[in-house]
Structure 1
Amino acid sequence: MEKYAIIDVGGNQLRVEPGRFHDIRRNLKTLRSDTKISINRVLLIRDGSDITIGNPWLDHVVVTGRILHNCFEKKLVIQKIHSKKKTRRIHGYRETRIRFVIDSIFIASKETAIR
């Protein structure tokens, strides 16, 4: 019996399961580690052989989790080279991400998965 949900976070759709961690883009809010979060933008949920699809989201379904820490992606390097002018410009940045772990999936006040 496999239990998972597909959620919409930061413009990305993620397949989440209890006990697994995921990286998402950092929002404008500053969130600290061990902060509990709840996501109610659930697009699909599977509980064993039952599949429920939302239009666009499911009502009364909440995915809860907690933030582990902030992390960075690999550095993205952008180079602009003008061959006839013999000039180069190198610009780079790292995108900040948040790593969070899913604790449980709640369906209509019935807990379907814990750890």
Structure 2
Amino acid sequence: MNIYAIIETGGQQLRVEPGRFYNIRHFVSLKPNQLKQNTKVLIYRVLMIRQKSNIKVGHPWLKGAIVKGRILHSCMEKKIMIYKMIPKKKTRQKLGYRQKSIRFLVDSISLNGEEIFE
């Protein structure tokens, strides 16, 4: 696609396009009890928007830029294993955890109240 935006959420920067879904670690603005299916989410931390050859960059964020989307469901990432060994002390520790994430579908990207289309 020729239209995409770079957003900041969950401690990471993502390149998002309308009509695609992404796994996001957490939304800062939402509490865990608000993360239900089809919850509409607006993301205001938009760093850049590209529309064909037109590029708009914010400093640090674009004013008036919004990425609209909705939550599809919550899911769990792959298990991460942490193995800690201290040599000569005969100490070994094996830990593992699964990161919670949210599947997020981008519906549209808008700038100054106008939705951006191809």
Do Structure 1 and Structure 2 share a fold, with TM-score over 0.5?
Answer: yes
Give the alignment partner of residue 45 of structure 2, picking from 41, 50, 61. 41
Question: Which residue of 2 is the match for residue 19 of structure 1?
Answer: 19
Q: Which 4+ runs in 1 deviate beyond 6 A?
A: none
Tell me the CA shift for residue 97 of structure 1: 0.6
Question: Which residue of 1 is the match for residue 111 of structure 2?
Answer: 107
Whichever residue aligns with residue 67 of structure 2, its letter is V
Give the TM-score, by structure 1 length.
0.88
Tell me the CA shift for residue 87 of structure 1: 4.5
For structure 1, the 5+ residue unaligned runs are none
SS at match of 2:59: coil
Q: How does 1:82-101 map to 2 (within 5 A)?
A: 82-101=86-105
Deviating more after overlay: 84-93 vs 51-60: 84-93
Deviations 1:16-55 (A, max 9, x none): 0000111111247211111100001111001111100001
Question: Which residue of 2 is the match for residue 66 of structure 1?
Answer: 70
Question: Which residue of 2 is the match for residue 76 of structure 1?
Answer: 80
CA RMSD of aligned residues (A): 1.8
Give the TM-score, by structure 2 length.
0.86
Q: 1:55 to 1:82 in 2, by over 3 A?
A: closer
Tell me the CA shift for residue 112 of structure 1: 1.1
Distance in structure 2 (CA, Å) of the matches to 1:19 and 1:27: 19
